[in-house]
A and B are shown apart, each in its own frame.
Chain A
């Protein structure tokens, strides 16, 4: 049982982090809330109180808002699906005995080190460009017509690029989890004549549940705010405008700070709803 003394010492040790995060959260948040009730358009020299919740009403009622929420969900969901499924498969593969395992692992984790801007630029120009991109050459080589990825399959293209960046992260966490799997249990199941799929379904997957929730949680936090990949590739065109990107357009392209700030607050609220939902699940999984 912890003593009173160590308990207060613990509280003291936690204080700097809590205090700093509180400041980091509250100061910009309060300013943004304040701005969201203003008609603040610097290019016009307008800086006055807005009409009540006018900015919120405008942001929420515009068609681009619902579109952007849907886009965000598709994008985040797509990336999560690819990275989790791909991560599980890849982790299982890397768990097998293979020659040169170290090098393969190095190859697989490399994309995680590439900054988002660079990866978006490289994929956009050197692979997905329909005239000079490598995919175009491949398609032509096999007698196909080059696909203009970024306009014909825009959301998929961005999902692809971001998944490439995050697949290593998922793979690494899942790999550590798989390695902790009790091999005796596996062998016993194999002895009992359990096929690959039933072993996977009854032993591996339940064992990985916890790791998968962690991957989903951490990635969601990062994926909800993806920006550079969209900015570089489509600039928000072709229905790739996520909520974050819509806020960017309001704040910076339209220079309507009031409206954009309202959008920012809406985004925070929605993100936190998703977060609470996720954390409930994770919390449960992590406790047991």
Chain B
């Protein structure tokens, strides 16, 4: 072990000597998600190749957002690379807070990045963050429970079918809940799911004049449908369940269906963590026949804050972490199923990866999400499960708290919607939209 490290260090030094570049120490902020933790473990490969070392600041998602947002809006300059999402990238890029990634090397093959991801991480055609992994949402369901309920999941189900199946699969005495959905308040938690679902029900956040639309029938229908379904077929405490809580429930075999990020597919099918690994099927997120599916589009991407002294080294890291080679490195060590998904076209063309059970459905979900045209009726914003305006995170978290309280039974859906309507209009007015 020691000698291998020494060897690595020696090669690194030689490489540095050969290229004349000098070794930097990069500070990278990232989320404590499985794929990132894996990346952390593989950092040695990067150091061997470039001589640069990496210091990780790994934080829980909410804490990370708080840290990196404060840092970037005060130009604190604490991080050489930060992990951000599809919501932040266009806003920050437009503010000139991020280094444009328009001069990546030819080997990197930027054109290989899935068009949906590239589009969502660019401003006016310039890429500002490179996708580490990308996701849409889809249904993950228990094939055995579906069979037991005497149903067969179509590839592209409707909400009607899903609700019916959820009720039939539910067996509360044995702690089997037909459907697990996000309920925890937060713009990136329940509001991601509900906004995307509302799209399928024909609802939208704003009309073209930026008037809040929570008083519409479509939103009423969405929220009531969701709350009724969760009360009848959801797990207890759903109002506190986010992605992680639902993942744990599904892995324990307590959920019949779970509609969430496609990236979860590799966790629920991993026999090391999941008790139901061999009994999981996949389907597109449901629709209601209005022409839009409730599947979102998201990427966790690596970006360089403007003003870092180590821009060149940071770019080298991004090229390493989001490259084809990195995917192969992970495949070699952990198997293809554990490769960070949803970022590159070539991955989905790879015959090895096509054998992975969820590969096809993930790609189809990603391709069917349309951030520029997310809703049935026209809207002035871009984004499926969010509206890419700076005010959204603040507003949606408050709206999310109202909806979460409605799910917990503290208020009715109508009350929650009325409050959401009022507070959204109030905030939008104060922000100068009207």
Chain A interface residues toward B at CB < 8 A: 41-45, 58, 62, 64, 129-132, 136, 145-146, 148, 150-152, 231, 234-239, 241, 249-250, 252-256
Contact = CB atoms under 8 A, between A and B. Distances in A.
A146 B236 CA distance: 8
Nearest to A254: B394
Nearest to A257: B73
Contacts of B13: none
A253 B175 CA distance: 36
B281 interface: no
B408 A238 contact: yes
Interface residues of B, number: 41
Contacts of A146: 236-237
A71 B91 CA distance: 34
A151 B401 contact: no
B364 interface: no
B410 A148 contact: no
Interface in B383-434: 390-391, 393-395, 397-398, 400-401, 404-405, 407-410, 426-427, 430-431
B235 interface: yes
Interface of B: 62, 66, 69-70, 73-74, 91, 95, 175, 184-186, 235-237, 239-240, 245, 248-249, 252, 254, 390-391, 393-395, 397-398, 400-401, 404-405, 407-410, 426-427, 430-431
Contacts of B95: 43, 45
A148 B185 contact: no
B62 A237 contact: no
B405 A255 contact: no
Contact of B390 (A43, A58, A239): A43
A132 B252 CA distance: 10
A237 B404 contact: yes
Nearest to B73: A42
Contacts of B70: 252
Given A41-B390, A239-B405, A148 B62 contact: no
Nearest to B187: A253
A235 B236 contact: no
A255 B398 contact: no
A256 B408 contact: no
Contacts of B248: 132
Contacts of B252: 132
A252 B240 contact: no
Given A43-B95, A238-B405, A150 B237 contact: yes
B184 A235 contact: yes
A76 to B, nearest CB: 21
B410 A239 contact: yes
Contact of B185 (A58, A62, A236): A236
Given A148-B236, A151-B237, A255 B394 contact: yes
15 contacts: A43-B390, A64-B398, A131-B237, A131-B249, A136-B236, A145-B236, A234-B185, A234-B240, A235-B397, A235-B401, A237-B400, A238-B239, A252-B66, A254-B393, A255-B69
A45 B94 CA distance: 10
B410 A238 contact: yes
B294 to A, nearest CB: 22
B240 A151 contact: yes
B60 to A, nearest CB: 9
A148 B240 contact: yes
A231 B62 contact: yes
Given A235-B62, A255-B394, 4 more contacts: A131-B254, A151-B410, A238-B404, A249-B398
Contact of B239 (A41, A42, A148, A253): A148
Given A43-B91, A43-B390, A148 B408 contact: yes
A150 to B, nearest CB: 5
